[in-house]
Every structure is written in structure tokens, then in C-alpha cells.
Amino acid sequence: MPTQTSGDTASAVFFDLKQPSDSASLHQVFYTPDSARRYVPAHERLPRRMRVVFNHMAAGRSARETAEITGRALKTIEQQRLSVMTRLGLANMFEMGVYASRHGLTQGMKVGI
């Protein structure tokens, strides 16, 4: 709970902070679920496995190549690709590439041709 003090020239607000041992880090930013939807890009809220599929697809790899690289079944990759596209509001693979490009996710990616 903040407490307010006033001096001759300025007033200050002090907050009761937890001890550093009680918190994860003073430099980490924590979002409430509502604020996370506003401030954290949708692709960063994807589960880890879907994010891997998204990164491979955004790099131009096929579902078959992604399945071979990740060691998952082709049907699993295809289903995860559809889930990613639904969550990001994308209609096709072209839109996925545009999304990745706009968010700077394609910089430095090497696509096997």
C-alpha cells in the first residue's frame, strides 16, 4: 500500500515492496491476462510447440519439412499450422509470411531450397 509524505519542496510516494528474495526479478515485466492481450503480440502467446511450427512455416518450410525437422507426425504439424493460423487470424500461408515479415520474424532466417 503506498504511503505519501510531503516535504518543503516536493512530495514522494513510497510503496511497500517485497524483499528481492520474494520476487523473481526487479527488472521483469509481468502482465495481467487482460493487459497481455493488449501488449504482447499474438505470436508470443502461442504455446511453445505451435511457435516452433509457426517459425518453420514463416521461414518457408513445408509441413513435411517441418515434421522431419521436429520429429513429429505430418498430421500433427498440419493441425498445429491450422491452429496457429486460427489464433493469429490468418487465412492462408501468404498471410502468415506477411505477418512474420511485419513483426520482424523473418530477419536472418535461412530457408532451405
55-113 residue pLDDT tens: 999 888 999 999 999 999 999 999 999 999 999 999 999 999 899 888 888 766 555 43
- Asked whether the predicted pLDDT for residue 6 surpasses 60, the reply is no
Fold of 30-102: Arc Repressor Mutant, subunit A (1.10.10)
Question: DSSP string covering 8-69, please?
Answer: SS-EEEE--PPPGGGSS-TT-----HHHHHHHS-GGGGS-HHHHHHHHHHHTT--HHHHHHH
Query: What letter does residue 112 receive in the DSSP assignment?
Result: -
Sign of CA dihedral 86, 91, 92, 97: negative
What is residue 27's predicted lDDT score, i.e. its pLDDT? 59
- Asked whether the predicted pLDDT for residue 24 surpasses 70, the reply is no
What is residue 28's predicted lDDT score, i.e. its pLDDT? 63
pTM of the model: 0.61
Stated as kind and residue range, the H or E segment containing 5 is strand 3-6
Stated as kind and residue range, the H or E segment containing 96 is helix 93-102
- Asked whether the predicted pLDDT for residue 3 surpasses 50, the reply is no
CB count within 10 Å of CB 90 equals 19
